[in-house]
Amino acid sequence: MCPACPRPGPSPLGSGHSRRPSRGAHPTAVTQRGITMSTEIVTQAGPELVEAMERLIPQLSRSAPALTAEQCEALLAQDGVYLFAFRPDSPAGEGPAPILGMLTLATFTIPTGLRAWVEDVVVDAEARGQGAGRQLVEAAVAHAQELGARTVDLTSRPSREAANRLYQRCGFELRETNVYRHSASKS
């Protein structure tokens, strides 16, 4: 069991790490301009998550619709999928601060070991350039390492120059490989 995880139990991936840490488990925080910003793993689909999906998904993709509350719950319920959220810490007594960025970490076991994949990294346009992306990526990589992942991969379009610089600063190396896609849907 990971000392930071409140629930004991073996992972379905065999790492000994509990499958789903509670909200706020493995938080990382940084203080900028006097405001503490935190990254945490989201485990419950509340109104603030649905609002964040409505605001952030259009900034990530022109063709993907925002997730409903039910779709958020289904996302969070998947084994091996972790949604990281970046938000300012709320003063005591106030409700949760809005989510300003998010990242999805998908983990899976194949014959060569546990692998991890970073997907759907998005930071609100108002919060870009303040370290949110870096904090999200570093938290996801650290979590993948705790789970025992052999590698963490991601893809990024070359036109996303700032994102590509971020990933390189976070230790990702450009691989010489071909990426192929087969559209599974007929839409």
Q: What is the pLDDT of residues 52-69, one digit of tens each?
A: 999 999 999 999 999 999
Q: Is 120 left (phi over 0), alpha (psi -120 to 50) or beta?
A: left
**Which residues are bridge partners to 31 per DSSP?**
36
And the tokens for 80? 């091996």
Q: What is the pLDDT of residues 13-32, one digit of tens each?
A: 233 333 333 334 455 665 55
Domains annotated for the chain, with CATH where assigned, are 31-42+79-169 (3.40.630.30)
Q: What angle do helix axes 132-147 and 161-169 make, rounded to 10 degrees?
A: 50
Using a cut of 0.75, tell me whether the model's pTM lies above it. yes
State the DSSP H helix or E strand holding residue 69, giving kind and residue range, or none if neither. helix 69-77
